């Protein structure tokens, strides 16, 4: 049994990172380890946060030990957390690194912990080159990465980025595990009823926070294709705007899409995730750039076909023609695939492919990868 500490977002924070870290803690516990999470009392200053709130309105997990103590802009908390862990001497500290802004806080904690000469420090690096670049990105990232004993990446693209930055510590690619914590699959009719959606239509799903790199604008242009306009198909947009909605609204008006959309542009609580995925025929990720995506792993869990664009690490997990489509990040390419999906009735074929593939995305394998890199 190892003593493990996970450092990153968790309850009372909300979002995919918090969901992942909580599920990872349970996976360590299932492996027989003693585990707790240390999360942020302040993750982002409000003026830097693009959404409505950083905090969950749902009840917190009762089965996890979560300490709320890191302020990302207060160095005193970095010192106190690092010093506490230095004295406690856990066997393994797993940092979640997704944004250069967190480099000073997480890097300072890691350096303090390592002074005990016992604890191994490993990072799950979602990105080392961010989607949206800002001043200070490179030095903040390098400061954190230099403090780690090793890395696990969830896409080969991020592994290659680490090597381009000339970091020599052990690093390993391990695919993003399934998000299997949103409940079981539901019959499509049950999910449609729960969302009050008309079963006379078919539905595509765009899911997650709306940011420029996720390509909703490309999808709206694709959905305007006259071939799709003739089909009884609607697009569900499920996720909170993390930027100005005006450019998207302009496209909706330009192409007269209003009656062909289902809008759910608020944060989607965990208990509703199953309904959105199970109501959809296919999940569409028209990203302009990406590393990996938790949305794909929710789709795998709910056995939904996928369309992804050939950017970053997305195509690594979506075998084209087996579980869905891999297209260029262009409206016509996406429209062509959507037309093929409906005209040739490929939902059942792709869903069977997803079911066959989903077994490879294991939380036990992620735990094993983190331990292997640490050792």
Per CATH, which fold does 3-173 belong to?
A: Rossmann fold (3.40.50)
Q: How many angstroms separate the CA atoms of 11 and 21, rounded?
A: 10
Find tokens 């005990």 and name the residue: 116
Find tokens 């100005």 and name the residue: 244
CB–CB of 207/238 below 8 Å? Answer: yes
* CATH of the domain spanning 188-360: 3.40.50.2000
**Mean pLDDT across 174-178:** 91
Strand (E) or helix (H) holding 262: strand 261-264
**Mean pLDDT across 218-237:** 97
CB–CB of 169/150 below 8 Å? Answer: yes
Q: Coil, helix or strand for 95?
A: strand
> pLDDT, tens digit, for every residue of 109-150?
999 999 999 999 999 998 887 656 666 788 999 999 999 999
Residue 178 tokens read as 């399934």
- pLDDT: which is higher, 156 or 113: 113
How far lies 374's CA from each of 9, 30, 84, 167, in Å?
Answer: 21, 19, 21, 15
Terminal-to-terminal C-alpha distance of the chain: 14
Give the 3-state DSSP-derived string for 172-233, with helices as H, strands as E and coil as C. Answer: EECCCCCCCCCCCCCCHHHHHHHCCCCCCCEEEEEECCECHHHCHHHHHHHHCCHHHHCCCE
| The two domains 3-173 and 188-360 share their CATH topology (first three levels equal) | yes
Alpha helices, DSSP H, located in the chain: 16-30, 75-88, 103-114, 137-145, 156-164, 188-194, 216-223, 226-229, 246-254, 270-279, 294-301, 331-343, 347-357, 363-374
> pLDDT, tens digit, for every residue of 207-217?
988 988 899 99
Question: Phi-psi region for residue 170, left (φ > 0), alpha (ψ -120 to 50) or beta?
Answer: beta
Domain ranges of the chain: 3-173, 188-360
The confidence band for 44, taking pLDDT boundaries of 50, 70 and 90, is: confident
> pLDDT, tens digit, for every residue of 234-260?
999 999 988 899 999 999 999 999 999
**Mean pLDDT across 15-37:** 95
Quote the pLDDT of residue 131.
Answer: 59
| DSSP secondary structure code for residue 316 in this structure | G
* pLDDT surpasses 60 at 49: no
Q: Coil, helix or strand for 48?
A: helix
**Mean pLDDT across 161-169:** 88
Nearest to 86 by CA among 111, 106, 56, 52: 111
């Amino acid at each position: 049994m190892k003593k493990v500490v996970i450092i990153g977002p968790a309850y009372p924070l909300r979002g995919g990172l918090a969901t992942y870290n909580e599920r990872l803690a349970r996976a360590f516990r299932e492996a027989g380890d003693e585990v707790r999470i240390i999360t942020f009392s302040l993750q982002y200053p409000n003026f830097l946060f693009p959404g409505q709130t950083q905090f969950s309105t749902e009840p917190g997990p009762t089965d996890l030990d979560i300490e709320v103590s890191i302020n990302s802009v207060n160095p005193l908390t970095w010192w106190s957390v690092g010093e506490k862990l230095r004295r406690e001497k856990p066997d393994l500290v797993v940092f979640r690194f997704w944004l250069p802004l967190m480099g000073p806080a997480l890097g300072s904690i890691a350096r303090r912990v390592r002074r005990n000469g016992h604890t191994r420090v490993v990072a799950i690096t979602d990105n080392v080159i961010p989607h949206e670049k800002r001043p200070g990105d490179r030095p903040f990232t390098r400061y954190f990465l230099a403090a780690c004993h090793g890395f696990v990446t969830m896409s080969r693209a991020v592994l290659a980025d680490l090597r381009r930055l000339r970091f020599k510590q052990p690093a390993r690619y391990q695919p993003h595990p399934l998000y299997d914590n949103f409940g079981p699959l539901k019959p499509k009719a049950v999910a449609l009823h729960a969302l009050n959606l008309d079963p006379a239509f078919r539905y595509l799903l765009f899911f997650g926070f709306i940011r420029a790199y996720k390509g909703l604008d490309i999808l709206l242009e694709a959905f305007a294709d006259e071939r799709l306009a003739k089909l009884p198909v609607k697009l569900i947009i499920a996720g909170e705007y993390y930027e100005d909605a005006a450019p998207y609204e302009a496209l909706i008006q330009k192409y007269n899409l209003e009656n062909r959309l289902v809008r759910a542009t608020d944060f989607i609580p965990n208990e509703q995730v199953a309904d959105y995925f199970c109501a959809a025929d296919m999940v569409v990720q028209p990203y302009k750039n990406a590393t990996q995506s938790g949305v794909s792993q929710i789709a795998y869990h709910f056995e939904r076909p996928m369309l992804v664009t050939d950017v970053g690490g997305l195509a690594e997990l979506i075998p084209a023609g087996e579980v869905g489509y891999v297209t260029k990040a262009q409206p016509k390419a996406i429209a062509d695939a959507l037309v093929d999906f409906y005209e040739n009735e490929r939902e059942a074929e792709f869903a069977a492919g997803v079911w066959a593939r989903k077994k490879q995305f294991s939380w036990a394998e992620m735990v094993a990868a983190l331990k292997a890199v640490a050792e």
